[in-house]
Amino acid sequence: MFRTRVLLGAGLAIAAAVTLPIINALPAAAVAGRNLPANGKVLFLAGQTTPDLTALKQQVLDVDASFPRPGGVTLYTNISPNACNGLTATCNLNGNVFNFDQTLSEYPGAALAVGLYLADNPGCNNQPLRAIIGRQDADIAGALGQQYRQNLDNLITYLKNTNRAIYLRVGYEFDGPWNCYNTDFYKQAFRVVKQRIDALGATNVATVWQSATYPKDGDAQYKFDFSNPSHLTDWYPGDDVVDWIGMSTFYWDANFRQYQWACDTPTTASPKSLYDRSLTFARAHNKPAMISESTPQGYRTANLDASCTNVNNRVSLNGDWTKIGSWYDQYFSYVNANTDVLRAAAYINSNWEAITQFACPPGATAGSPNCTDGYWGNSRVQDNANIKANFKRELQNSVFVNGTLSGRGANWGGGTVPPTSNPPTSNPPTSPTPSPTGGNPGNRNAFATIEAESYDSQSGTQKVSTSTASGGVEVGYFGNNDWLQYNGVNFGGRNPNMVTFRYSSGRPTNQAFTLEFHAGSATGPVIAAPGLLGTGDWRTYKEISFNVSNLPAGTTTITAVAKVSDSADALDLDWFKFV
């Protein structure tokens, strides 16, 4: 895939808004570095433009106080004498809008990751790098070179005066062929940036050395050779000037060949192998690691479709949000599996199609005048209720700064929540027979376990007796539009955040369906619509927690309705409750 980033790279992240202490001591993990989050936790950041972050605040954080606030935010800037930098006034760079003062005021106490762009625009002359180094080449001798260096000092001083934990990504994605950096100039310039940070006393500013971790080699002559085992070593400016090791994670093995790279041939079979190499490098150098940029490139959360990243050839996902969910599942799984060294993660919560630089109409090819940077799609989590709810639950995990709950608890359609019992070998009968209704009118506690078989009325379902169910009975044979209704569910004066339930399914683990929860009848307002996957056996269970919305406090009727795309039975429901 061809990518060129004219002024900016990608990068965002989400976490919790607290003032982060600057910690230089060694935490529980065997890494050391400036601005390590306390107690071995992972800092989650959000970005990547000021409008992106304002929308996240207004559409998610301001309307849901239980949604963990970002522990940091991500923005971009440059030191080019003839370009705006966005530090104290709004700056529009090819549709990317930045206003550091505005974003910092909207996210009080949050850390700040800064992508410092040091490439030419356009060209591969490495003028910013050569100016930082202080070379006296004809094009930068005198006032122009001095202005570059003064702008660098002005940036560092601004970041110092924020009194925030700062992560300065110096020439981010240094090895991306689209940036066209010269290896030696880059390493020398990185060292000068660190020297100026120290000289100006900016002890709150940590340097981040971020690889593009890109699965396709560029010109090996210029060391854009990701498949080279010594690739990172060739670009490394030194332990004495690097505080953090960074990487980009736009592709995961379950996704990138099916959609994102279906129109191209990578030189690296597994993007994860590049991420692993970065973490191995960080461990070897005793440095903390950061996912500096991440987004499900090529997918649209609002439209549920996907495309190759180098050609806009969108195809529908047929309403199956879990096909995007698998990207998020691998992303959060990777973070959770590597917390010994991976101490920060940034996510790009952006509608790329609304940004001029990343526009790419249907049929356009990366590198063409109307699709310069390839196809990116829309990665805003708030544009899909299922993705937003699971994203929220991931951030509530106590491994993250401001996380307070145990474990991941999300279900992206890949079954991150393990079964609660060992599966017996028998299945229920395949031909349902009529069953009487349950009948438990009266006052039910919404926050206590409600057994599925205690329904007041039903359509199309049947009770199933089994020792693996709570109380020895569950309700099965759910087909499309079959439902269970529960009257008198009492929420008191409290609005619930989530519905939790236990289910099993004889469907394969890659086959999706939905269980909707309605307020009132089966045609009433939908308060939650978790997408589910088969568990592979009727006696293999999963417990799922899913965000609820639009549910008033007080007493109401709750109806659970199955939505299935075929005529076969979908699930057995054991119990549910609200939390």
Name which of 28-42, 180-194, 291-305 the model is least confident about: 28-42
Give yes or no: residues 301 and 372 share one domain.
yes
pLDDT at 8 over 50: no
In angstroms, rounded to a whole number, what is the distance separating the alpha carbons of residues 439 and 262? 53
Residue 408 lies in a domain: no
C-beta of residue 219 within 8 angstroms of C-beta of residue 177: yes
**Domain annotation covers residue 193:** yes
Residue where one domain finishes, among candidates 355, 377, 395: 395
User: What is the C-alpha separation between 451 and 472, in angstroms, rounded?
Assistant: 10
Structure confidence at residue 528 (pLDDT): 86
pTM of the model: 0.70
| CA torsion, ordered 48, 51, 54, 59, to nearest 10 deg | -100
| Active site amino acids | 173, 293
**pLDDT score of 22 more than 70:** no
Per-residue pLDDT tens over the stretch 139-171: 999 999 999 999 999 999 999 999 999 999 999
Q: Does the structure show a pLDDT above 50 at 203? A: yes
Q: Are 7 and 96 in contact (CB under 8 A)?
A: yes
Is the Cβ–Cβ distance between 193 and 22 less than 8 Å?
no
Task: Please state the domain count of the chain.
Answer: 2
Domain that holds residue 340: 38-395
> What percentage of the chain has pLDDT greater than the value 90?
75
Q: What is the pLDDT of residues 491-536, one digit of tens each?
A: 887 878 789 999 999 999 878 888 999 999 998 888 888 888 899 9
- What is the pLDDT at residue 525? 86
Both 465 and 343 in one domain: the answer is no
Please check whether residues 549 and 462 belong to one and the same domain: yes
Nearest to 79 by CA among 238, 193, 239: 193
If asked whether residues 216 and 82 sit together in one domain, one would say yes
What average pLDDT does range 382-397 have in this prediction? Answer: 96
> Is residue 415 pLDDT above 60, yes or no?
no
Residue predicted with more confidence, 435 or 339: 339
For residue 476, give both structure tokens.
């099965």
Average the pLDDT over 448-472 and give the result: 92
Confidence (pLDDT) at 414: 56
Same structural domain, 457 and 373: no
Q: Per the domain annotation, does 11 fall within a domain?
A: no
Q: Is 478:488 a contact under the CB 8 Å cutoff?
A: no
Using CB atoms within 10 Å of the CB of residue 549, give its burial: 0 to 12 exposed, 13 to 18 middle, 19+ buried: middle
In the predicted model, is pLDDT for residue 463 greater than 70?
Answer: yes
Domain limit, last residue, from 367, 395, 423? 395
The CATH number of residue 550's host domain is: 2.60.120.260
CB burial of residue 575 (10 Å; 0-12, 13-18, 19+)? buried
27 has a pLDDT exceeding 70: no
Is residue 419 in some structural domain?
no
237 domain-assigned: yes
Is residue 388 a contact partner of residue 382, using CB atoms and an 8 Å limit?
Answer: yes
What CATH number does the domain containing 150 carry?
Answer: 3.20.20.80
Shared domain check, 472 and 364? no
User: Within this chain, do residues 380 and 469 fall inside the same structural domain, yes or no?
Assistant: no
The Cα 296–Cα 376 span in angstroms is 8
Domain check: are 386 and 476 in the same one? no
What confidence tens digit (pLDDT) does each residue in 226-266 have?
Answer: 999 999 999 999 999 999 999 999 999 888 999 999 999 99
| Residue (of 170, 169, 273, 164) closest to 228 by Cα position | 273
Q: What is the pLDDT of residue 549?
A: 78
Position 451 pLDDT exceeds 60: yes
Percent above pLDDT 70 for the chain: 89
Backbone angles phi, psi at 119, to 5 degrees: -90, 165
- Say which residue, 295 or 23, is predicted with more confidence: 295
**133 has a pLDDT exceeding 90:** yes
Q: Give me the chain's average pLDDT, please.
A: 88
Whether residues 349 and 448 fall in one domain: no
Angle (nearest 5°) at CA 478 between 474 and 483: 90
Q: Do 372 and 463 lie in a common domain?
A: no
Q: How confident is the model at residue 418 (pLDDT cuts 50, 70, 90)?
A: very low
pLDDT score recorded for residue 442:
52
Q: What is the mean pLDDT of residues 550-567?
A: 86
